[in-house]
């Protein structure tokens, strides 16, 4: 069911065209807060809330390498939260990938 929801969301976003600067900043800020919440207190319910907000913000972006990099980072944040760890090598890698994608897109 989740795949179908994501597929419908992608189809809708693709009709909208490129992301506005405002949408991109909102998504980046939400993902940054999710990472910060994880690093501050990995087991906190606040992490789940921040991940939800980040997912919603990234969903407003059109499909592309920036959105994909941010979705992968969010997934890694969720994995770390479930494991109760404040960070991992994969989280660091996904963070670097996401920042590089944003720089290349800008």
Cα–Cα distance, 63 to 40 (Å, whole number): 30
- Per-residue pLDDT tens digits of the chain, which is 106 residues long: 445 444 544 554 454 556 688 999 999 999 999 999 999 999 999 999 999 999 999 999 999 999 999 999 999 999 999 999 999 999 999 999 999 999 988 7
Cα–Cα distance, 44 to 7 (Å, whole number): 30
pLDDT at 21: 87
Angle, alpha carbons 69-23-58 (nearest 5°): 35
pLDDT at 106: 74
H or E element, residue 36: helix 21-40
Q: CB neighbours (10 Å) of residue 84? A: 8
Output DSSP code: residue 55: H
pLDDT at 8: 46
pLDDT at 12: 46
Residue 26 · residue 60 · CB < 8 Å: yes
Distances 69 to 11, 72, 91 between C-alpha atoms, Å: 18, 5, 12
């Amino acid at each position: 069911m989740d795949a179908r929801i994501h597929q419908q969301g992608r189809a809708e976003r693709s009709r909208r065209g490129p992301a506005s600067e405002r949408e991109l900043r909102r998504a980046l800020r939400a993902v940054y807060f999710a990472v910060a919440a994880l690093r501050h207190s990995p087991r906190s319910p606040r992490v789940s809330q921040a991940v939800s907000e980040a997912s919603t913000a990234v969903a407003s972006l059109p499909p592309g390498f920036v959105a994909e990099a941010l979705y992968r980072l969010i997934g890694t944040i969720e994995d770390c939260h479930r494991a109760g760890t404040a960070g991992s090598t994969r989280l660091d890698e996904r963070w670097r990938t996401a920042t590089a994608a944003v720089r290349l897109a800008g």
